[in-house]
Amino acid sequence: MLEGHLVAQEFYATLLAQERLDDLIPHLQDTFLRDYLGPGSPWEDFSSLADRCFYDNALSLRDDCPDPTVADLFLINGDYLNLKNALVGSHSFPFRPVMLSTERLSAIAAGDNNSLPEWVQESGVATLREAPDPASLDAALDGAYLRHLLAMGQSLNNPLFFQCVQERVLARAIAVIWRAVRLGAGLRNHQQYFLPLGEHTLLLSDLLSASDTRAWPGIVGGELGELLEHAMEFSEDEQVSQFELMSANRLTCDARAGAYQTAGPERVFAFLVALYAEMQNIKLVVCGRLNRVDIDLLRRRLRVCHG
């Protein structure tokens, strides 16, 4: 079973304890990365290598699923990153296409707005291309991506998926807006291009209208509001990343319910959530070590994982 190859939390303590980067490789051979590592594997490209490992595994599962939508929940982020490159005229598409072929992306990169998918045209991206504004384009693409996730979660007609996708979208939306506030970006872009986001629209509009982010936990309420309040106890530079970490951990814990199914899409979902967390953790450790980040800081930023 694929779940049997996922590592437990204790694995990262061992990984962090290695004194030399080369000493990491024998331990990484016990992970899904074993087929991607070789004697000449370049450390500087490790993040891309780990991303490719995740996408390849998700694509393999997609081919075996009667309904590919479960895997697509994890794969369309790559489509949107490819699309962002195409919209600024780049023909470099780092992620393997799922919903947007390389030919279609190349046409978009060449300026063909008719090749834009319907679910992106509605966001006003074509108009933004005529007068490039990076902040507005980012807001429009983020909104289109999250609306796409919401639609996919609803189409699956499954309580576990619906709850997890709804919470994932809301947490991601809060982080996007919070980061824009921190950067001093004009929030009018988010009112105009980022929204609407289904049943979250009114709540997010209230956040955008609030003059002080310290009011946000009360506006959001519930467990997510509590995570926001907890994140605000950290230094300003860490608040958004801590909120993202805590909300990601919550998703991982919620998704574990699917692992107890003997078969079916819930089990695929739970596995992909766990594999994604594992790849993010390994990237954190390896890239952190490459950049001489304090080991205690890396340890605090590790995500909850399988087991």
pLDDT in tens, 151-170: 999 998 888 889 999 999 99
Rounded distance, CA 122 to CA 159, Å? 28
pLDDT at 41: 64
pLDDT in tens, 42-90: 677 899 899 999 999 999 999 998 889 999 999 999 999 999 999 989 9
pLDDT at 131: 64
Q: How confident is the model at residue 261 (pLDDT cuts 50, 70, 90)?
A: confident
Q: What global pTM score does this model have?
A: 0.92
- Phi/psi of residue 6, each to 5°? -75, 145
> Hey, what amino acid is at 68?
P
Question: Is 78 in contact with 296 (CB distance < 8 Å)?
Answer: no
Rounded distance, CA 275 to CA 257, Å? 15
pLDDT at 21: 83
How crowded is residue 3: how many other Cβ atoms within 10 Å of its Cβ?
Answer: 13
pLDDT at 119: 83
How crowded is residue 82: how many other Cβ atoms within 10 Å of its Cβ?
Answer: 25
Using the 8-state DSSP alphabet, how is residue 190 labeled?
Answer: I
Helix, strand, coil percentages (3-state) for the chain, rounded to 5, are 75, 0, 25
Tokens 């809301």 -> residue: 170
pLDDT at 40: 65
